[in-house]
Structure 1
Amino acid sequence: MCASDLESYARAWVDAVSNAPAVAQARHLYAGQGAASARATEERCGVELQFVSAGLGVISADEVIPLYDLTVSKLGPGPCHSLGSSATPSAWWSALCRARGCQNVLAQMIKCRDDLAIVALPETYLAMIEDDLCSLTEEHMAKLRIIVARKAKVPGRLRQWAIPYDSRLNQLAGARSGSVSSLAARAAFHFISLIREVPTLLDIDAQRAEIQRLLDAVTPVVKPVRKFASDDQILSAILAMKSDERWGRSYTLGKLRNELGIACEERRFRGIFAQAEACLHGSCERL
């Protein structure tokens, strides 16, 4: 793959989504615990909510956007899957921004603001916007607070502005509990609530130390030991729950883990649950 292939892909993609019908505001279209936590932060703290989208760039929560299906995961769908290993998330972000007629869009937004810019993204998306954020001067970079999971890889220049959280977040007073995949967004809810309640907590070292103090005061929860089950066994368990009116992906995963004691990683579960939905619609093929 050469750079022109990625540029062509980006231009074609932008043309496609520009001509697609807009269906809903971004705040209502994005789902999951992370998006719910972002909305809760907006409502509770009065922050300006922006989404970083691999398909649309940086978009306001108020913007009415189309349905789309693109990811920077190598599993696709998207350029990193279609164009090979040299189509990195960071290269795609740059190509997407150019196709939309802008460059380093996040950096430009941060330069124009006087207040803090709280960035709360999963590791893959943080890698995607790395070059954008690293184009900031040290003066403007000081406005950043990058909320991350403790084990997340944070690019070198950005590391000094990172505030790490871990699974003990679930036990902090006033925090939103949830899965590891939504930790950054849920941690941002806690962090922004904290600095609003303690307005004298301005320095990043003091902020980081306070977060660490709160986490260290928590007694870690002992993880339950769950048993392995094959995909076919999990599919059967999901289908056995179908008469429950609460039946849905989050509910069945919780019941599978907490009541049946079965171990199942969230990404694996999504695929099996999709198979269960297909079964209920008469197109089931056993795994």
Structure 2
Amino acid sequence: MAIVITNCTSRKTSRDDIGPSTSDLRTGTLSEVAREWRKKLTTTRSQHPASTVYCGRGFREVEAASKSLHAELYIISAGLGVIHSTTKIPCYNLTVATGTPVSIKDKVTPPYTPQAWWKAVTSDNPFGQTLKDLLAKNTNELILLALSRPYVGLVFDELEALTASNRENLRFFGKNTKSALPPILQDNWMPYDDRLQTLGKGYSGTHSDFAQRALKHFVHIILPTKPNASALEHGQYISQHFLMIKSYEKCERRKLDDDMIARLMHQHSRGGMLTTTALLKVFRHNLGIACEQSRFRKIYELVQNEYQR
């Protein structure tokens, strides 16, 4: 049996019972902030299975891939540690990504590193475990990891300390994550690139869900053909698979401010508001306008509220 691991998502299902948030924390040393965070977690009564809390295409892709493999699905959470998809968790709001209102970095007085936060938050966490502990319990399983660069950085120290027997079964997926991995694990990175976009429906998507789409391709196309291959052999087979596929030519889209995007939304919704997914496709493919998905959704909600007044 295999194990699939992905990072948590900033997108979570809308609930009235929002749990602890970075904004609720006082500024302090790393140990002080981690202690306060763990306390808030233990006093949060409302909890739901992790698979129903996280949402977004990327998460659903790995969820479907894990089911097709009959594999266990785990999530690396910056607030909870490594949790199983069935673990009941609060609907929290915390990230190690910078530049957001809920970045934990802004609450910790220097010195701060993501690795130090991970060590502190996984110590006696009521919900999760460390990645090291999970891998130690599953030395004979194939481990597929679809992670963004910030989350590779979060668990870097644990990855670097893995023994050779733990390393061989790991396969990493992510467009720009190879250089973020410890050198001893860079051969375990699967060499997917933008040509994944050319495979059409099911494999094309956005930068934010690239790792999960690559893992999906590996599960459905590569692994059935090479079930017992080594990490190096899997990487070589992927390179050969894409050898005859034409390089993906990325379309350069215009960037507009929020006001202009809102005006265009009004213009293209005179017959009634399209869904956010349908309207984003119009912007990207018909109008050639770039807009990150979460930003687009926020502007869409503002425009939609105006229609409902």
TM-score by length of 1: 0.85
Cα 1:241–1:102 shift into 2, 3 Å = closer
- Of 256-265 and 103-112, more deviation after overlay is shown by 103-112
Aligned to 1:217: 244
Cα 1:224–1:140 shift into 2, 3 Å = closer
Is contact 1:10–1:99 with CA below 8 Å preserved after alignment?
A: no
Is contact 1:94–1:104 with CA below 8 Å preserved after alignment?
A: no
- Picking from 227, 251, 275, the partner of 1:247 is 275
1:200 deviates by 4.7
Cα 1:241–1:247 shift into 2, 3 Å = farther
Is contact 2:96–2:103 with CA below 8 Å preserved after alignment?
A: yes
- Picking from 124, 133, 142, the partner of 2:168 is 142
Cα 1:140–1:151 shift into 2, 3 Å = closer
Whether 2:13 is the aligned partner of 1:10: answer: no
1:18 deviates by 2.4
- Distance in 2 (alpha carbons) for counterparts of 1:26 and 1:63: 6
- Distance in 2 (alpha carbons) for counterparts of 1:276 and 1:229: 16
1:239 deviates by 3.7
- Of 158-167 and 110-119, more deviation after overlay is shown by 158-167
Q: List aligned pairs for 1:43-122, cutoff 5 A.
A: 43-76=67-100, 77-83=102-108, 86-100=111-125, 105-113=130-138, 114-122=140-148
1:82 deviates by 2.1
- Distance in 1 (alpha carbons) for counterparts of 2:34 and 2:266: 40
1:227-254 Cα distance to aligned partner (Å, 9 max, x none): 3433211121224445545422x33222
Whether 2:257 is the aligned partner of 1:230: answer: yes
- Distance in 1 (alpha carbons) for counterparts of 2:295 and 2:201: 31
What one-letter code is carried by the residue in structure 2 that aligns with 1:94? K
Is contact 2:254–2:289 with CA below 8 Å preserved after alignment?
A: yes
User: Larger % of helix: which?
Assistant: 1
- Distance in 2 (alpha carbons) for counterparts of 1:74 and 1:274: 24
1:257 deviates by 1.3
1:84-116 Cα distance to aligned partner (Å, 9 max, x none): 564222221111111417997211211221111
- Of 222-231 and 4-13, more deviation after overlay is shown by 222-231
- Distance in 2 (alpha carbons) for counterparts of 1:21 and 1:246: 37
- Of 101-110 and 139-148, more deviation after overlay is shown by 101-110
1:179 deviates by 0.7
SS in 1 for 2:203: coil
1:127 deviates by 0.7
What one-letter code is carried by the residue in structure 2 that aligns with 1:110? L
What one-letter code is carried by the residue in structure 1 that aligns with 2:115? S
- Picking from 221, 231, 246, the partner of 1:204 is 231
1:37 deviates by 0.6
Whether 2:186 is the aligned partner of 1:162: answer: no
- Distance in 2 (alpha carbons) for counterparts of 1:274 and 1:174: 27
- Of 218-227 and 158-167, more deviation after overlay is shown by 218-227
What is the Cα-based RMSD across aligned positions, in Å?
2.7
1:270 deviates by 4.9
Aligned to 2:45: 21
Percent identity between the aligned chains?
Answer: 27
Is contact 1:6–1:79 with CA below 8 Å preserved after alignment?
A: no
- Distance in 2 (alpha carbons) for counterparts of 1:67 and 1:45: 28
Is contact 2:222–2:238 with CA below 8 Å preserved after alignment?
A: no
Is contact 1:228–1:263 with CA below 8 Å preserved after alignment?
A: yes
- Distance in 2 (alpha carbons) for counterparts of 1:174 and 1:254: 14
1:195 deviates by 4.6
1:38 deviates by 1.0
- Distance in 2 (alpha carbons) for counterparts of 1:117 and 1:172: 25
1:224 deviates by 2.8
TM-score by length of 2: 0.79
Aligned to 1:285: none
1:151-181 Cα distance to aligned partner (Å, 9 max, x none): 6532323322211311211333885321111
1:275 deviates by 4.4
- Distance in 1 (alpha carbons) for counterparts of 2:70 and 2:60: 15
- How many residues of Structure 1 are paired with residues of Structure 2 in the alignment? 278
Cα 1:152–1:202 shift into 2, 3 Å = closer
SS in 2 for 1:145: strand
Segments of 5+ residues of structure 1 without an aligned counterpart are 283-287
SS in 1 for 2:174: strand
